[in-house]
Structure 1
Amino acid sequence: MTYKMLVSDLDETFLNDDGTIHEENVQTVKRAVAQGFKFVPNTGRSFESVQKMLKQLDLYDQVGEYVISFNGSAIVENKNNQIIATQDMPFTMAKQIFKAGLIDASVDVHIYTLNKLFIYNISDSDKQYLATRGVAYVALKTTDLSFLNMQQPIMKVIFEHPDIQVRHKIHDAVVASVGIDQVEVTYSSDRYVEFNLKGVDKGSASLLLGEKLGITKDEIMAIGDNNNDLKMIKAAGLGISVANGINVVKEAADIVTKRTNNEGAIAEVLNQFVLIGEQ
């Protein structure tokens, strides 16, 4: 099989734990792209937050190169950050999720619009994590979200807490409020529980981009490490887990890399399936 595109999660997959990029990943991505291969970051974060990374990969402001953001809520062409497709969340739903998931004062909440990230009650650990990834945000001082009605579209709402049991309680509270048939729920980075509009996920966005580019499912590879990567890995022709992936991701994947994210796992994949025979 000739693969034409790799959709890749970023945090704990393509990026090192400290938010930097393994140099071997940088070089193999550049060589693959030079051959016409598509390397598409597929992230829960905004496309604005990955511009520095795109510059390192020579993908910044390039025609015919893409980023999938917000767990699949937006597909963006890198040239002028042109929006190709969005699947946003109704303002009323975002307010309902925010209210239900804010179960106590230890929880912080991220609200992603297309161009801004708003965070209420941000924790010190979350500040540090976002700083390592160069993520800009606007701090909210109030739970009154009426101003967001002018900030449409809203891409997703997520909650941060280090305790998985608290994240489960947030999940249950939101689902009880809005209904499981209304939202896609995923977990990521061992700190977030994320809510998108039902039907929006990294996998469906990957297939949609492939369709727009004339690339079939069988020609797409997908790689990730965590719960929000599952549908992407299952949707692709070849689903891959990094060596540091959680067990459920490893079980769902067709293959598991020998390398972790800190060891250049993407370079391993590209060398094995794309840059075959290259010296």
Structure 2
Amino acid sequence: MIRMIASDMDDTFLDGAHRVPAPNIAALERLHELGVLFVPCSGRPYPSIMGNLEDVDQRLLTGTYVISLNGGFINRYGQDEPLTSVTLDRSVAEELYRRGMDEHRIMHVYVPSGTIYTQGVRDAESSYLAGMRGVTALTGTERDLGFVGDEDVVKILYVDTDFDALQRLGERLRPDLDATRVAITYSARRYLEFVPAGMDKGVGVRRLAGMLGIDMDEVMSIGDSANDISMLDAAGIGVGVANVCEDTRAHCDAVTAATGEQGALAEILQRFIEPGYAHGQTKLGLPTT
């Protein structure tokens, strides 16, 4: 029986404007009644995720957790201080940023406080970022990461809406990277992500489940992109939404008919969660750690 659902946010749980579709709100209400823990799990920072959830009845999320920044950070919902944190080696981050500037690439730079610095963003990307909290546009003159001040860097993204070209770029760059310090993944069919080696959503989900005494067979993960693969593989059930990327589909135990935009959590609730309560059990006893 599923006790915890770890769900990606963008293009999975949220619509194109980074809002929670109405069917997903109704599904959260039912999950709350059943005592199934719903855990947002995103590549974005914790404050940005909280911004997307501020219109949701907080009663439905109180007592849960948020896994952010590709699994490197875990927060108790509503508490700013993370329980876990992982950052990039600064010299690696500087090299990736410098290379991006030399090649005139659109970039995002993520720091632990939640700010997302953007470099070279153009119209289409500006529209995509419009519903996200904590985005700060750079001037284009910054030649190093001095703009982050004393903060560490969690990850750097290169942006290209030509996803095939972006994947070719990632494979071209991979041999130049120290695999003991940095890893590559992809998200939203527009982002090439450089993250700390060993940091992924699967690690974050496993870590939280262990903290709460939940077996991974009792965990469901939901996603749509390559950076969700590790948590889809780790969970007892890995579910892709209808708009799942082809390279991720093979890692899904099932794929919904509904897209993230349409509120796929409602379908997942009916297909996979409700049947577990068909014999009269109405609520799970969740851990209180």
Is the aligned partner of 1:221 residue 2:191?
no
TM-score, scaled relative to structure 1: 0.90
Q: Tell me the CA shift for residue 24 of structure 1.
A: 1.2
User: 1:144 corresponds to which residue?
Assistant: 144
User: 2:112 corresponds to which residue?
Assistant: 114
Structure 1 residues 255 and 149, CA gap change in structure 2 (3 angstroms): same
Is the Cα–Cα contact under 8 Å of residues 61 and 78 in structure 1 kept in the other structure? Answer: no
* Structure 2 unaligned residues grouped into runs of 5+: 283-289
Is the Cα–Cα contact under 8 Å of residues 102 and 170 in structure 1 kept in the other structure? Answer: no
How far, CA to CA, are the matches of 2:60 and 2:37 in structure 1? 15
Question: For each residue in 1:217-262, what CA deviation from the matched residue of structure 2 results, as whole angstroms up to 9, or x when unmatched?
Answer: 1010001111111111011110111111112222111111121112
- 4+ runs deviating over 6 angstroms: none
User: 1:188 corresponds to which residue?
Assistant: 187
User: Number of paired residues?
Assistant: 275
Work out the percentage of aligned pairs sharing the same amino acid: 30
Question: For each residue in 1:63-91, what CA deviation from the matched residue of structure 2 results, as whole angstroms up to 9, or x when unmatched?
Answer: 53111111112111113223111111121
Q: Say which structure is richer in helix.
A: 1
Structure 1 segment 38-77 matched on structure 2, within 5 A: 38-59=37-58, 64-77=63-76
Structure 1 residues 18 and 140, CA gap change in structure 2 (3 angstroms): closer
User: 2:286 corresponds to which residue?
Assistant: none
How far, CA to CA, are the matches of 1:60 and 1:127 in structure 2? 33
How far, CA to CA, are the matches of 2:164 and 2:240 in structure 1? 25
Is the Cα–Cα contact under 8 Å of residues 204 and 232 in structure 1 kept in the other structure? Answer: yes
Structure 1 segment 10-159 matched on structure 2, within 5 A: 10-59=9-58, 64-102=63-101, 104-105=103-104, 107-115=105-113, 116-131=115-130, 133-141=131-139, 142-148=142-148, 150-152=150-152, 154-159=153-158
Is the Cα–Cα contact under 8 Å of residues 242 and 260 in structure 1 kept in the other structure? Answer: yes
Q: Tell me the CA shift for residue 190 of structure 1.
A: 1.4
User: 1:162 corresponds to which residue?
Assistant: 161
Is the Cα–Cα contact under 8 Å of residues 113 and 155 in structure 1 kept in the other structure? Answer: yes
How far, CA to CA, are the matches of 1:186 and 1:20 in structure 2? 24
Q: Tell me the CA shift for residue 199 of structure 1.
A: 0.6
How far, CA to CA, are the matches of 1:168 and 1:261 in structure 2? 23
The amino acid of 2:137's aligned partner reads: A
